[in-house]
Amino acid sequence: MNKALVTGGAGFIGSNVSRLLLENGCEVAVFDDLSTGYLENLSELDVEFINGDVRDVNQLSRAMQGADVVFHLAASVGNLRSIEDPVSDAQVNVIGTINLLEAARRFEVRKIVYSSSAAIFGELKRLPIGEDHPAEPDSPYGVSKLAAEKNCLAYSRLYDVEIVCLRYFNVYGINQRYDVYGNVIPIFASRLLRGEPLTIYDDGEQTRDFVNALDVARANLLAAKADGVSGAFNIASGHSISINYLANIMQEVSGRQVGIEYAPPRKGEVRHSQADISSASRLLGYAPETDLAQGLQAYVGWLKGIG
Active site residues: 141
DSSP calls for 94-158: IIHHHHHHHHHHHTT-SEEEEEEEGGGSBS-SSSSB-TTS--B-SSHHHHHHHHHHHHHHHHHHH
Question: 138 near 268, Cβ under 8 Å?
Answer: yes
Q: Is the dihedral of CA 22, 26, 29, 34 positive or negative?
A: negative
Residue 254, SS3?
helix
Strand partners, 130: none
Question: 229 near 164, Cβ under 8 Å?
Answer: yes
Q: Residue 144: which of 209, 235, 223, 78 has the closest Cα?
A: 78
